[in-house]
Amino acid sequence: MSTGIGFSLAIPHTSLDIVDRVIVAFGRSFSGIEFESLDSKPVHFIVLFLVPSNEFKTHLKTLSAIAKFFNDRIIREELMHAPDAAAIMNIFSRGATHEN
């Protein structure tokens, strides 16, 4: 099943024995990537995350938090127009603050 969930977002994820904490990577594509998304649209944002194998709750919480964050149209627009990595990190930091 595709991890392209719609909203221009794909969230490939897995659990591994070789990681001891959640590891996340973010990528942005201006032109879009065919990902067989649920909405059949190209993906512009990819959030890859890895979770230790024994942390099922953490896996679900991380997946949920990412989906909730990207559900916000304004966040997606800000990320698409962010000029550099520092601006992208600022958007993620602001979003994390709103979650707490």
pLDDT in tens, 13-47: 999 999 999 999 999 999 999 998 999 999 999 99
Cβ–Cβ < 8 Å for 4, 36: yes
Quickly state the pLDDT bin for 4 (edges 50, 70, 90). confident
* Count of beta carbons in the 10 Å neighbourhood of residue 71: 13
pLDDT at 78: 96
What amino acid occupies position 1? Answer: M
Cβ–Cβ < 8 Å for 27, 37: no
Cα-based angle 56, 10, 31 (whole degrees, multiple of 5) = 160
Domains in the chain, CATH or no CATH each: 4-99 (3.40.930.10)
pLDDT at 96: 62
pLDDT at 100: 42
Closest C-alpha to 68, from 98, 37, 28: 98
Cβ–Cβ < 8 Å for 51, 58: yes
pLDDT in tens, 39-98: 999 999 999 999 999 999 999 999 999 999 999 999 999 999 999 999 999 999 987 655
